[in-house]
Chain A
Amino acid sequence: MPPQLVARSSDGELIAASREQSEVFAELFDRHSRAVFRYAAQRLGTQAAEDVVGETFLVAFQRRDRFDPAFGDACPWLLGIATNLISRRRRTEAAHYRALLRTPREVPAEETAERISARVSAAAMRPRLAEALATLAARDRDVLLLIGWAELSYEQTALALDIPVGTVRSRLNRARRKVRAALGETNPLDEQE
């Protein structure tokens, strides 16, 4: 496949082509490694995230015959693989969240009033949220964070985790109930208003 075709091909076409021209698979890394890294870094921190990115693409390459081109975007599939790899590092993940409780956050130089409000609200909740994430059941946390952080849709999350959409909804509801309970069902800023 010539470089121009590689650049213009869909993820499904790339993966199909990689069965014959395996080097084409590197294009998939270039397209999605940043998204996989960001998601993994949010859950594990940067050092472990790099390893997860590498392992994710190795697993994806080995399992590329299982990817259905009908899904189009391969990112949810890759995030699903990353999620499985992250689940093997539960202790690292829990330690990461708890470490955040002790880590001061850098404040961006420029923010809008709305962003500052949101940030302050989230900052106030941060300790309880981090603790809640650390104690959620892994499968509920996976769904919550694929939707809340990786911004996947319910359908994409179902694809990523290979579970029905109904299961995504029920796990999300359960996770949100626990998070809300941990947050005290209230928002400090709302209380001030």
Chain B
Amino acid sequence: MDDMQILAEFGRELDLAPPATLVRQRNRLLEAVDSNRAVRRSYRRPLFAGAAALLSAAAVLAVALPTAHHGTSGALHVATDTPTVSVSLAGWSVKSEAGGSVEVALKELTDATELRQALAQAKVPARVWLVPTKVADPKTFAALSAPIVGCPVDYVQMKRIESTTGIVGVSFARSDTPGVLFTVTPSKLPEDTVVNIVLYTLNGVENGYYISVSKTSDNACTPYQN
């Protein structure tokens, strides 16, 4: 028995199961999380509101995105010389920014085909899937989404490409409901990769999203066409 074995044995003597009171520390963390979320919400709301106002006020040359189905309230507004794109629909908006980045705001589950086309115009390789079935139980989400989008494998099995700062080439500006606002920088996307956007409804109430960057060859299923 060498010194490390003696040390390990001593450690086992001191090993204690966590007490039930450890839950207090979990609550402490949750309080910090809530507080952080509240700070972020108050800080970012003006940003999102500003962006939304900008988008809706953006003027607008009607450019033909191929389908005319724009949901109930969406007006199709597109400005521009590619790759400068500014599209604002009821459910989402896509806007080119200085420096080649593209701001994407997602609010509702509508017009996936147009969203993908707008992103393509903005030079963002993207796959967009809607999961129109209202998922009652989150556990059924993956099971439902796979056949709906025609993917042979579970979406969540895709290998995501991330860095220390999150998803490579994608930065989020807001995550509070309703909707999400994020920026894609195509030049930062690794070669042969694609942005995957999945929008779904949870419990028939909450709009959810799942965004990742993966190799284009990963899970190369046919995007859902709504």
Interface residues in chain A, defined as those with a beta carbon under 8 Å from any beta carbon in chain B: 1-5, 8-9, 12-13, 16, 19-23, 25-26, 29-30, 33-34, 37-38, 41-42, 46, 50-51, 53-54, 57-58, 61, 65-69, 100, 105, 118-119, 121-122, 125-126, 129-130, 144-145, 147-149, 176, 179-180, 183, 187, 189-190
Contacts and interface: CB of A to CB of B under 8 A. Distances in A.
A175 to B, nearest CB: 9
B42 interface: no
Given A57-B29, A58-B28, A179-B3, A67 B164 contact: yes
Nearest to A33: B22
Chain B, interface SS category:
helix
B163 A33 contact: no
Contacts, number: 148
B177 to A, nearest CB: 10
Contact of A180 (B3, B34, B202, B210): B3
Nearest to A28: B29
Given A23-B37, A122-B9, A187 B162 contact: no
B45 to A, nearest CB: 15
Interface string B7-48: 111110111111101101110111011101100100000000
Interface residues on B, range: 35 or more
Contacts of A13: 160, 162
Contacts of B160: 13
Nearest to A13: B160
A58 B31 CA distance: 10
B16 A46 contact: yes
Given A33-B18, A189-B1, A61 B29 contact: yes
B142 interface: yes
Given A2-B138, A118-B5, A22 B33 contact: yes
Interface stretch (B49-57, B109-117, B165-173): B165-173
A190 to B, nearest CB: 7
B19 A65 contact: no
Interface in B195-209: 200, 202, 208
B19 A23 contact: no
Nearest to B11: A149
Contact of B156 (A8, A20, A26, A69): A8
Contact of B29 (A25, A100, A145): A25
A121 B139 CA distance: 51
Nearest to A66: B164
B14 A42 contact: yes
B175 interface: yes
A12 B162 contact: yes
> Which among B7, B9, B15, B162 has the greatest number of chain A C-beta atoms within 10 A?
B7
B98 interface: no
B33 to A, nearest CB: 5
B224 interface: no
Contacts of A67: 164
Given A38-B16, A38-B18, A54 B28 contact: yes
A149 B7 contact: yes
B33 A54 contact: no
Contacts of B14: 41-42, 100, 149
26 contacts: A2-B208, A5-B141, A5-B156, A5-B210, A8-B156, A16-B166, A19-B166, A20-B172, A21-B175, A23-B30, A26-B30, A38-B16, A46-B16, A50-B19, A51-B25, A53-B18, A53-B22, A53-B25, A54-B24, A68-B164, A69-B163, A122-B10, A129-B6, A149-B8, A176-B4, A187-B6
Contact of A69 (B3, B17, B164): B164
A189 B2 CA distance: 11
Contacts of B24: 50, 54
A51 B14 CA distance: 18
A183 B28 contact: no
